[in-house]
């Protein structure tokens, strides 16, 4: 057997495999003898049919299977031994190979097209992506305290709207010249009556019940900042949103906020020993900062990946990739169809795959099974305390066994895997690109996140 390769281009290869009779004949002979032992042929007892008859009936098919197996093993070994970093697998070049004649040929030559994985030269210094740090102001902490007090407050369902602190849950459609369009799509919203800035509209809401319907002009009813929040719009769009809407009240709610007291401290931070409002504020501020720090890291990773893809410069073996995809696509997908949909359907995902492969060579961005198990163990320990009768060793083993069982199914830990991978990507990007850090407010961050 002899295997050689020729460089067709910088990335594309033509691999030639010569298989001689000596490479497969022993296996063919053994297989045919096994066939003879099991064959039931007219006029002969089982296992006594002449080998000539067995060869006539079975040899071409056995040769075809054996040569194919020999070819596959040799090709895989060659790729491994030569350390060829290929895209996918080689494609059989049927035009050069022709059609093997397993009845008359003894020596065979097979040709394969292959392509090396493209290498990206990432210029980390050119990456245009900032790492943001969110400044948490005193008013942000106060707003969070209000939210916490509402979350832990007393929830009631009033019969009708009587107070600014009542909340409306409903759905609405945008009107066109005062009429509801036939194809109007319902959207959902919720807001407190106190958010309504127009006193006339606010007065009209008093006494309204579930299932009541009313028409409201959005710009007249709400400030731009509230429109942004209630209607989930970017700040620029919220300022221009002046639609008349037909609002149907689905349900009402009244929440009596929890007092800022020891009971609230213990509910929010059990066992933390918080006894004063100042300590409570400090803990809340720390939680807000940590939450936004993580979101800023994620935004940075996404921005760097987008920049790398937008500035993707690696040479691609396009012809090979298109043929490779067509050869492995669903039945009926032709090479012409792959070419027609190349830019929109196939190229974007190929760029992502090539980028991630090259990033993997820059640093570790793939969490191991042990990493996932360790993270699951941490989560379990937060939820499952050590029993009084358990030793430390028994507790650690119980947690580890549970974590191993959970981590066996990738679907169970997909979110954890994604978070760990994101952390690894951030570490790599932070070390390589050395980003400029910019401090921004929570509002600025929210606006950037919506872009």
What's the pLDDT score for residue 419? 94
pLDDT tens profile 172-211: 999 998 898 988 889 999 999 999 999 999 999 999 999 9
What's the pLDDT score for residue 396? 93
Confidence band (pLDDT; 50, 70, 90) for 61?
very high
Contacts of 120 (CB under 8 A, 6+ apart): 312, 313, 314, 354, 355, 358
Whether the per-residue pLDDT at 55 is higher than 90: the answer is: no
Q: What is the mean pLDDT of residues 110-126?
A: 94
Q: Average pLDDT, whole number, for the chain?
A: 93
What's the pLDDT score for residue 325? 92
Q: What is the mean pLDDT of residues 215-243?
A: 92
What's the pLDDT score for residue 236? 85
pTM of the model: 0.78
Q: Look at 117 and 385; give whichever has higher pLDDT.
A: 117
Angle at 70 between CA 65 and CA 71, to 5 degrees: 95
Confidence band (pLDDT; 50, 70, 90) for 277?
very high
Q: What is the mean pLDDT of residues 331-353?
A: 91
Q: Look at 209 and 37; give whichever has higher pLDDT.
A: 209
Confidence band (pLDDT; 50, 70, 90) for 58?
confident
Q: Look at 38 and 119; give whichever has higher pLDDT.
A: 119
Whether the per-residue pLDDT at 52 is higher than 80: the answer is: yes
Whether the per-residue pLDDT at 26 is higher than 90: the answer is: yes
What's the pLDDT score for residue 329? 80
Which helix (H) or strand (E) segment holds residue 277: the answer is helix 277-310
For 80-144, strand residue ranges (E) read 91-92, 108-115, 131-135
Angstrom distance (rounded) from CA 171 to CA 174: 10
What's the pLDDT score for residue 63? 93
Angstrom distance (rounded) from CA 212 to CA 204: 12
Among residues 118, 90, 126, 124, the alpha carbon closest in space to that of 352 is found at 118
pLDDT tens profile 234-248: 888 999 999 999 999
Q: What is the mean pLDDT of residues 428-440?
A: 95
Whether the per-residue pLDDT at 332 is higher than 80: the answer is: no
Q: Look at 52 and 400; give whichever has higher pLDDT.
A: 400
Angstrom distance (rounded) from CA 402 to CA 273: 31
Whether the per-residue pLDDT at 68 is higher than 80: the answer is: yes
Q: What is the mean pLDDT of residues 82-97?
A: 93
Whether the per-residue pLDDT at 45 is higher than 90: the answer is: no
What's the pLDDT score for residue 7? 94
Handedness of CA 123, 125, 129, 132 (dihedral sign): positive
């Amino acid at each position: 057997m002899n295997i050689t390769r020729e460089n067709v281009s910088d990335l594309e290869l033509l691999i030639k495999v010569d298989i001689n009779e000596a490479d497969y004949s022993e296996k063919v002979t053994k297989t045919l003898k096994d066939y003879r032992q099991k064959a039931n042929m007219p006029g002969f007892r089982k296992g006594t049919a002449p080998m000539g008859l067995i060869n006539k009936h079975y040899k071409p098919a056995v040769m075809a299977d054996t040569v194919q197996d020999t070819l596959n093993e040799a090709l895989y070994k060659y790729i491994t031994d030569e350390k060829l970093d290929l895209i996918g697998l080689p494609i059989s070049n049927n035009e050069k190979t022709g059609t093997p004649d397993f009845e008359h040929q003894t020596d065979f030559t097979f040709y394969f097209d292959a392509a090396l994985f493209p290498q990206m030269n990432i210029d980390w210094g050119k990456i245009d992506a900032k790492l943001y740090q969110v400044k948490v102001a005193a008013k942000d902490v106060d707003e969070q305290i209000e939210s916490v007090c509402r979350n832990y407050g007393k929830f009631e369902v009033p019969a009708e709207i009587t107070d600014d602190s009542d909340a409306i849950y409903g759905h609405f459609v945008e009107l066109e010249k005062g009429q509801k369009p036939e194809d109007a799509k319902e959207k959902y919203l919720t807001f407190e009556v106190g958010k309504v800035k127009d006193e006339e509209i606010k007065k009209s809401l008093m006494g309204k019940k579930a299932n009541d319907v009313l028409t409201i002009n959005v710009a007249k009813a709400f400030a731009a900042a509230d429109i942004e929040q209630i209607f989930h719009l970017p700040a620029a769009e919220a300022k221009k949103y002046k639609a008349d809407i037909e609002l149907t009240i689905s349900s009402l709610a009244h929440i009596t906020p929890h007092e800022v007291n020891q009971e609230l401290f213990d509910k929010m931070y059990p066992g933390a020993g918080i006894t004063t409002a100042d300590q409570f504020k400090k803990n809340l501020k720390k939680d807000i900062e940590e939450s936004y720090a993580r979101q800023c890291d994620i935004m940075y990773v996404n921005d760097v990946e987008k920049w790398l893809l937008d500035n993707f410069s690696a040479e691609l073996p396009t012809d090979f990739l298109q043929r490779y995809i067509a050869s492995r696509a669903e039945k009926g997908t032709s090479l012409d169809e792959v070419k027609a949909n190349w830019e929109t359907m196939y190229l974007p995902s190929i760029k992502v795959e090539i980028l991630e492969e090259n990033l993997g060579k820059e640093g570790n961005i793939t969490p191991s099974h042990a990493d996932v198990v360790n993270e699951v163990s941490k989560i379990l320990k937060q939820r499952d305390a050590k029993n009084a009768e358990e030793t430390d060793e028994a507790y650690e083993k119980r947690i580890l066994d549970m974590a191993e069982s959970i981590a066996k199914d990738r679907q169970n830990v997909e979110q954890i895997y994604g978070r760990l991978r994101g952390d690894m990507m951030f570490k790599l990007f932070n070390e390589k690109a050395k980003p400029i850090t910019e401090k921004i407010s929570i509002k600025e961050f929210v606006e950037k996140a919506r872009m």
